[in-house]
Structure 1
Amino acid sequence: MGSEAKLTIGELEAGYPTYCKALRMLIKNGKSLEAIQRTICWDRLTLLQKSLPTRYKSPDYLYALLKRDVDELAA
Protein backbone atom coordinates (compact mmCIF):
# COMPACT_ATOMS: atom_id res chain seq x y z
CA MET A 1 0.00 0.00 0.00
CA GLY A 2 2.96 2.31 0.37
CA SER A 3 3.23 2.77 -3.40
CA GLU A 4 -0.36 4.03 -3.60
CA ALA A 5 0.51 7.15 -1.63
CA LYS A 6 3.06 8.06 -4.31
CA LEU A 7 0.62 7.80 -7.23
CA THR A 8 -1.09 10.95 -8.46
CA ILE A 9 -4.74 11.01 -9.44
CA GLY A 10 -3.58 11.49 -13.04
CA GLU A 11 -1.47 8.34 -12.85
CA LEU A 12 -4.36 6.41 -11.34
CA GLU A 13 -6.69 7.65 -14.06
CA ALA A 14 -4.18 6.74 -16.76
CA GLY A 15 -4.05 3.21 -15.36
CA TYR A 16 -7.83 2.76 -15.20
CA PRO A 17 -8.14 0.75 -18.45
CA THR A 18 -5.32 -1.52 -17.28
CA TYR A 19 -6.95 -2.07 -13.88
CA CYS A 20 -10.24 -2.97 -15.58
CA LYS A 21 -8.44 -5.35 -17.94
CA ALA A 22 -6.68 -6.99 -14.99
CA LEU A 23 -10.00 -7.34 -13.18
CA ARG A 24 -11.56 -8.99 -16.23
CA MET A 25 -8.60 -11.40 -16.51
CA LEU A 26 -8.86 -12.34 -12.84
CA ILE A 27 -12.57 -13.07 -13.28
CA LYS A 28 -11.93 -15.08 -16.46
CA ASN A 29 -9.32 -17.11 -14.59
CA GLY A 30 -11.93 -18.05 -11.99
CA LYS A 31 -10.47 -16.13 -9.06
CA SER A 32 -12.83 -15.65 -6.12
CA LEU A 33 -14.07 -12.19 -5.18
CA GLU A 34 -12.13 -12.49 -1.92
CA ALA A 35 -8.90 -13.21 -3.81
CA ILE A 36 -9.55 -10.36 -6.25
CA GLN A 37 -10.15 -7.95 -3.37
CA ARG A 38 -6.57 -8.55 -2.23
CA THR A 39 -5.03 -7.41 -5.53
CA ILE A 40 -3.35 -4.15 -6.44
CA CYS A 41 -5.85 -3.52 -9.24
CA TRP A 42 -8.73 -3.71 -6.71
CA ASP A 43 -6.91 -1.31 -4.38
CA ARG A 44 -6.31 1.15 -7.20
CA LEU A 45 -9.91 0.95 -8.44
CA THR A 46 -11.09 1.55 -4.87
CA LEU A 47 -8.77 4.53 -4.51
CA LEU A 48 -10.00 6.01 -7.79
CA GLN A 49 -13.63 5.61 -6.79
CA LYS A 50 -13.02 7.18 -3.38
CA SER A 51 -11.08 10.07 -4.93
CA LEU A 52 -13.47 10.76 -7.82
CA PRO A 53 -16.81 9.13 -6.92
CA THR A 54 -18.77 10.93 -9.63
CA ARG A 55 -16.41 9.71 -12.34
CA TYR A 56 -15.65 6.12 -11.29
CA LYS A 57 -17.91 3.27 -10.20
CA SER A 58 -17.08 1.12 -7.20
CA PRO A 59 -14.95 -1.97 -7.78
CA ASP A 60 -17.87 -4.08 -6.54
CA TYR A 61 -20.07 -2.66 -9.29
CA LEU A 62 -17.35 -3.20 -11.92
CA TYR A 63 -16.88 -6.75 -10.66
CA ALA A 64 -20.60 -7.47 -11.05
CA LEU A 65 -20.67 -6.07 -14.59
CA LEU A 66 -17.55 -7.88 -15.73
CA LYS A 67 -18.58 -11.12 -14.03
CA ARG A 68 -21.91 -11.03 -15.86
CA ASP A 69 -20.15 -10.40 -19.19
CA VAL A 70 -17.63 -13.20 -18.62
CA ASP A 71 -20.39 -15.61 -17.56
CA GLU A 72 -22.49 -14.75 -20.62
CA LEU A 73 -19.55 -15.33 -22.97
CA ALA A 74 -18.81 -18.67 -21.31
CA ALA A 75 -22.42 -19.87 -21.65
Structure 2
Amino acid sequence: MKRRIIFFISFLFIFIKSNAQCAMCRAVLESEEGQTAAEGINDGIVYLMAIPYILVAGIGYFIYKKYNSLKK
Protein backbone atom coordinates (compact mmCIF):
# COMPACT_ATOMS: atom_id res chain seq x y z
CA MET A 1 0.00 0.00 0.00
CA LYS A 2 2.79 2.40 0.89
CA ARG A 3 4.51 1.78 -2.45
CA ARG A 4 1.33 2.56 -4.33
CA ILE A 5 0.98 5.91 -2.57
CA ILE A 6 4.60 6.82 -3.25
CA PHE A 7 4.22 5.79 -6.90
CA PHE A 8 1.04 7.86 -7.28
CA ILE A 9 2.63 10.97 -5.80
CA SER A 10 5.72 10.50 -7.96
CA PHE A 11 3.49 10.08 -11.01
CA LEU A 12 1.73 13.35 -10.25
CA PHE A 13 4.95 15.32 -9.94
CA ILE A 14 6.84 13.76 -12.84
CA PHE A 15 4.40 12.91 -15.61
CA ILE A 16 1.53 15.35 -15.36
CA LYS A 17 2.14 18.70 -17.01
CA SER A 18 -0.46 21.28 -16.03
CA ASN A 19 -1.13 24.81 -17.05
CA ALA A 20 -1.94 26.45 -13.75
CA GLN A 21 -1.97 30.14 -14.59
CA CYS A 22 -4.65 32.66 -13.84
CA ALA A 23 -6.12 34.54 -16.80
CA MET A 24 -4.14 37.73 -16.24
CA CYS A 25 -0.82 35.93 -15.78
CA ARG A 26 -1.48 33.89 -18.91
CA ALA A 27 -2.23 37.02 -20.98
CA VAL A 28 0.95 38.78 -19.86
CA LEU A 29 3.18 35.75 -20.30
CA GLU A 30 1.76 34.77 -23.68
CA SER A 31 2.56 38.22 -25.04
CA GLU A 32 6.27 37.54 -24.44
CA GLU A 33 8.39 36.24 -27.27
CA GLY A 34 10.06 33.47 -25.24
CA GLN A 35 7.98 30.93 -23.37
CA THR A 36 10.62 30.14 -20.72
CA ALA A 37 9.14 32.60 -18.21
CA ALA A 38 5.67 31.12 -18.70
CA GLU A 39 6.98 27.60 -18.07
CA GLY A 40 8.77 28.78 -14.93
CA ILE A 41 5.64 30.46 -13.61
CA ASN A 42 3.61 27.31 -14.33
CA ASP A 43 6.07 25.13 -12.44
CA GLY A 44 6.09 27.49 -9.46
CA ILE A 45 2.30 27.55 -9.27
CA VAL A 46 2.08 23.76 -9.44
CA TYR A 47 4.65 23.35 -6.65
CA LEU A 48 2.84 25.87 -4.45
CA MET A 49 -0.45 24.12 -5.13
CA ALA A 50 0.96 20.68 -4.24
CA ILE A 51 2.24 21.56 -0.76
CA PRO A 52 -1.19 21.79 0.96
CA TYR A 53 -2.25 18.48 -0.56
CA ILE A 54 0.91 16.79 0.68
CA LEU A 55 0.40 18.21 4.18
CA VAL A 56 -3.24 17.07 4.32
CA ALA A 57 -2.26 13.61 3.04
CA GLY A 58 0.48 13.35 5.68
CA ILE A 59 -1.87 14.35 8.49
CA GLY A 60 -4.48 11.89 7.21
CA TYR A 61 -1.87 9.12 7.13
CA PHE A 62 -0.81 9.77 10.73
CA ILE A 63 -4.44 9.83 11.89
CA TYR A 64 -5.06 6.57 10.05
CA LYS A 65 -2.04 4.94 11.67
CA LYS A 66 -3.02 6.21 15.12
CA TYR A 67 -6.59 4.96 14.67
CA ASN A 68 -5.40 1.51 13.58
CA SER A 69 -2.96 1.23 16.49
CA LEU A 70 -5.79 1.96 18.95
CA LYS A 71 -7.92 -0.85 17.46
CA LYS A 72 -5.34 -3.53 18.24
TM over 0.5, shorter chain: no
**Bigger helix share:** 2
Structure with higher Rg: it is 2
Normalising by the residue count of structure 1, what TM-score does the alignment of the two structures yield? 0.34
Normalising by the residue count of structure 2, what TM-score does the alignment of the two structures yield? 0.35
Greater relative contact order (Cα 8 A, min sep 6): structure 1 or 2?
Answer: 1
